[in-house]
């Protein structure tokens, strides 16, 4: 049986074309599908459904199928026209009498009753009741064999047309246009027809025919409604190229304003996203940002930057967070001064961005996520937030409780989200929720349900385009479930599928996770079977996971990957549990503090203990400095510095002792090294020593603007004069300020 989506052989297509032409000739199109049930599904899926969906209720049901087959046949034959027009009307006398390039089409259409040969008595006088073949032979002065060669050529061209995959979209789009023209020409639909198209769109969406509904909204010239529907039904539309034709036609028309161009670019980006075309998706979002900035519309600027944030979530989380923060700033402008309609949408988009930021903080094990989620709940208490955003909020709460080690509460939130998405009919989010449920059921040790939900995503991917991060995540979660069941071969198989998808789509975060999981699975299989290839593969994937984690500053994941071979299955809470707040905000400094605290537990000389405590103090000074600079940057960006003057004064007083120490060292260096350094060089070197605690030869050369040889000479002289203390040897040589100013 030929599947509706499979592609039949050329021989099968030729049989269908011949049967359709024969049925047309004997006026038997009504039973055409009944006579050829083997190919019925393919014909209907690829061609006739589009025609019937375009005709809507303008053609009564008893006649609809017959009319659809005939229109598809006329459209296909008209594609053989040398002038490129659609339909069989408007063929001039020159084409009938003199142009041989028209003869295959004319012979085929006349022989099967789709055209009548005009009378040309000056050229040829036909007999009464003369067959079209004889009429054309006389008109063109050719023999029957030549005429049948024309017929054969036209049939071959027709088979070529139907043998092409219609998923390119151009064929179906022009077929719909022809049917639409046919309806208008016969007065079945007004030339304007917007209200009729709107009714057909509603009926199509209710019946589950998304592409038909989108076509009718496109023809109704209701661009906002079309773009809103495309946002909702993007998953169903992405598999057909005809939607691209609609978008191109809209983009080139003069009915789309600058704001709608933003939304149109974002819808195009979503289609590329579903088709796993990463580069084109990024280009479309960038175009949306340019349109929004050009229009000077803060709401659309926020929407476009939020889309870029979502695009970067699994690729570059630092940039993603910056995009969401920029969106939030734009939405605040609208909330404070926009119109009522814009303000309402801005509140919803603002809440959505906060949810995305919370998700990103969860991915970094940062407990700030809970404060953001609570903020959204507070927003919802004062403003109406859309159901889609509320469902995303439930999803993120589910992830929060998963990271807190409470899978039962996590499942409760995710199932609430699933109910909302199913009520909305939001296929894209439904599959994403299935993906998340698969992971959480594994955490809850309900592995059969984990596998069931993961496979729901993979099954849907055989019929619909699924986002790469959802597909990759489902494969990862299936691997986790099978690993937990001890079925390592299955686990490795799904992990390898995931790594292929994530690498193709550039999903960096997924690559880190799946490489860690692959290393774990290979080490476990090596432990059971002793195959050295598993050990080698485990080493390779663990090193790759550690490298990518370090590059992304995901230090907990990097440490876990490095320790994986020793621990095999790992210990403790793992890399996806929330860190203490200060560790999340200042990981490098707090890790250094912990290291120094541990070193104090070992016997040390009094001098070394002093240096260790001073190093801890420097780490905390660095943290304080970073927090101060962050506060000043936010105040400057929002122009509210006066409101914090008292706080800043108090903070300055806290820093006075450190600043006084810097001034004292500046005076001492001015006295002891004035011939070596200019004031600017002296200030730069001292500032580096105060903030970093030490300086090396290359650092001194950089801040003072001298050569390495001069830097080495200066540092030696400064040490000899008691202005610096040398520590370490060779490449490890560092210079510190003495512990005492005396």
Q: pLDDT per residue over 536-573, tens digit each? A: 888 888 888 888 888 777 777 788 888 888 876 444 44
When pLDDT is cut at 50, 70 and 90, the band that residue 731 belongs to is low
More confident residue, 354 or 630: 354
Candidate from 189-198, 453-462, 490-499 with smallest mean pLDDT: 189-198
- The reported pLDDT for the residue numbered 640 is 64
Bridge partners of 120?
124
Region of 99 please: left (phi>0), alpha (psi -120 to 50) or beta: beta
pLDDT value at 103 more than 90:
yes
pLDDT value at 186 more than 50:
yes
Residue 675 CA, distance from chain mean position:
60
When pLDDT is cut at 50, 70 and 90, the band that residue 28 belongs to is low
- The reported pLDDT for the residue numbered 725 is 86
**Mean pLDDT, to the nearest integer, of 163-172?**
69
- The reported pLDDT for the residue numbered 655 is 59
pLDDT value at 200 more than 60:
yes
How many CB atoms within 10 Å of residue 339? 11
State the residue for tokens 């300055």.
Answer: 652
**Mean pLDDT, to the nearest integer, of 667-677?**
82
Q: Which fold has domain 659-742?
A: Arc Repressor Mutant, subunit A (1.10.10)
Candidate from 89-98, 207-216, 453-462, 639-648 with smallest mean pLDDT: 639-648
Rg (CA), the chain: 36
Candidate from 141-150, 374-383, 575-584 with smallest mean pLDDT: 575-584
CA–CA separation, 60 vs 53, rounded Å?
13
Candidate from 125-129, 439-443, 468-472, 566-570 with smallest mean pLDDT: 566-570
pLDDT value at 719 more than 70:
yes
Please state the φ and ψ torsions of residue 160, each to the nearest 5 degrees: -60, -40
* Average model confidence (pLDDT) across the chain: 83
Tallying the residues shown for the chain, one arrives at 742
Q: Which of 431, 345, 365 is nearest to 395 (CA)?
A: 431
CA–CA separation, 307 vs 292, rounded Å?
12
pLDDT value at 694 more than 50:
yes
- The reported pLDDT for the residue numbered 371 is 87
pLDDT value at 30 more than 80:
no
- The reported pLDDT for the residue numbered 266 is 93
Quick one: angle between helices 10-25 and 144-163, nearest 10?
120
Candidate from 7-16, 60-69, 576-585, 659-668 with smallest mean pLDDT: 576-585
How large a percentage of the chain has pLDDT more than 70? Answer: 86
pLDDT value at 192 more than 70:
no
pLDDT value at 113 more than 50:
yes
- The reported pLDDT for the residue numbered 633 is 73
SS3 606: helix
Residue 648 · residue 658 · CB < 8 Å = no
Residue 735 · residue 712 · CB < 8 Å = no
- The reported pLDDT for the residue numbered 36 is 56
């Amino acid at each position: 049986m030929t599947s509706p989506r499979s592609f039949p052989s050329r021989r099968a297509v030729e049989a269908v074309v011949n049967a359709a032409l024969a049925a047309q000739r004997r006026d038997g199109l009504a039973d055409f599908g009944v006579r050829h049930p083997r190919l019925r599904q393919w014909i209907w899926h690829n061609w006739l459904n589009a025609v019937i969906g375009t005709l809507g209720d303008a053609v009564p049901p008893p006649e609809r199928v017959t009319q659809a087959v005939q229109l598809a046949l006329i459209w296909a034959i008209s594609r053989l026209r040398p002038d490129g027009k659609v339909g069989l009307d408007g063929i001039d006398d020159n084409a009938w009498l003199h142009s041989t390039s028209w003869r295959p089409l004319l012979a085929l259409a006349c022989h099967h009753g789709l055209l009548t040969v005009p009378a040309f008595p000056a050229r040829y006088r036909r007999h009464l009741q003369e067959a079209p073949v004889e009429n054309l032979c006389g008109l063109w002065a050719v023999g029957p064999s030549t005429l049948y060669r024309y017929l054969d050529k036209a049939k071959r061209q027709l088979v070529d047309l139907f043998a092409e995959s219609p998923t390119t979209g151009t064929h179906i789009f022009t077929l719909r246009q022809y049917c639409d023209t046919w309806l208008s020409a016969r007065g079945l639909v007004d030339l304007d027809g917007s209200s009729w198209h709107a009714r057909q769109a509603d009926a199509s969406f209710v019946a589950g025919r998304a592409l038909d509904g989108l076509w009718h909204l496109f023809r109704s010239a209701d661009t906002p409604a079309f773009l809103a529907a495309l946002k909702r039904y993007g998953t169903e539309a992405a598999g057909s190229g005809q939607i691209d034709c609609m978008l191109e036609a809209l983009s080139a028309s003069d009915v789309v304003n600058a704001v709608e161009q933003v939304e149109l670019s974002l819808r195009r980006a979503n289609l590329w996203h579903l088709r796993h075309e990463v580069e084109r998706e990024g280009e479309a979002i960038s175009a949306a940002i340019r349109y929004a900035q050009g229009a000077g519309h803060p709401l659309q600027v926020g929407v476009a930057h939020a889309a870029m944030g979502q695009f970067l979530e699994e690729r570059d989380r630092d940039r993603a967070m910056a995009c969401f923060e920029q969106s939030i700033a734009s939405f605040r402008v609208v909330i404070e001064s926009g119109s009522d309609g814009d303000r309402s949408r801005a509140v919803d988009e603002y809440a959505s961005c906060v949810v995305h930021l919370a998700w990103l903080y969860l991915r970094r094990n940062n407990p700030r996520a809970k404060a953001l989620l609570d903020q959204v709940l507070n927003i919802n208490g004062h403003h109406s937030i859309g159901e889609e955003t509320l469902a995303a909020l439930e999803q993120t709460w589910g992830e929060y409780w998963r990271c807190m080690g409470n899978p039962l509460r996590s499942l409760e939130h995710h199932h609430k989200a699933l109910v909302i998405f199913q009520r909305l009919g939001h296929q894209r989010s439904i599959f994403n929720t299935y993906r998340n449920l698969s992971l959480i059921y594994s955490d809850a040790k309900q592995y059969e349900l984990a596998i069931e939900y993961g496979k729901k995503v993979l099954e849907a991917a055989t019929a619909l385009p699924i986002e790469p991060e959802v597909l990759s995540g489902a494969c990862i979660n299936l691997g986790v479930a099978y690993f937990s069941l001890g079925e390592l071969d299955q686990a490795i198989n799904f992990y390898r599928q995931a790594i292929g998808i994530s690498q193709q789509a550039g999903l960096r975060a997924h690559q880190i996770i799946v490489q860690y999981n692959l290393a774990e699975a290979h080490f476990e299989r090596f432990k059971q079977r002793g195959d050295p290839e598993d050990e080698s593969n485990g080493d390779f994937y663990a090193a790759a996971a550690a490298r990518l984690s370090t590059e992304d500053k995901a230090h907990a994941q990097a440490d876990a990957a490095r320790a994986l071979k020793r621990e095999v299955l790992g210990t403790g809470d793992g890399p996806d549990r929330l860190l203490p707040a200060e560790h999340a905000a200042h990981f490098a400094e707090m890790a250094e503090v912990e290291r120094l605290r541990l070193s104090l537990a070992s016997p040390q000389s009094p001098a070394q203990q002093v240096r260790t405590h001073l190093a801890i103090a420097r780490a905390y000074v660095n943290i304080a400095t970073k927090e101060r600079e962050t506060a000043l940057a936010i105040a400057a960006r929002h122009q509210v510095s006066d409101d914090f003057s008292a706080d800043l004064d108090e903070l300055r007083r806290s820093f006075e002792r450190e600043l006084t120490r810097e001034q004292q060292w500046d005076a001492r260096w001015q006295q002891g090294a004035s011939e070596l350094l200019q004031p600017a060089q002296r200030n730069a070197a001292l500032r580096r020593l105060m903030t970093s605690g030490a300086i090396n030869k290359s650092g001194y050369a950089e801040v003072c603007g001298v050569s390495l040889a001069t830097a080495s000479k200066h540092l030696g002289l400064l040490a000899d004069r008691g202005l610096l203390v040398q520590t370490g040897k060779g490449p490890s040589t560092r210079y510190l300020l003495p512990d005492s100013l005396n």
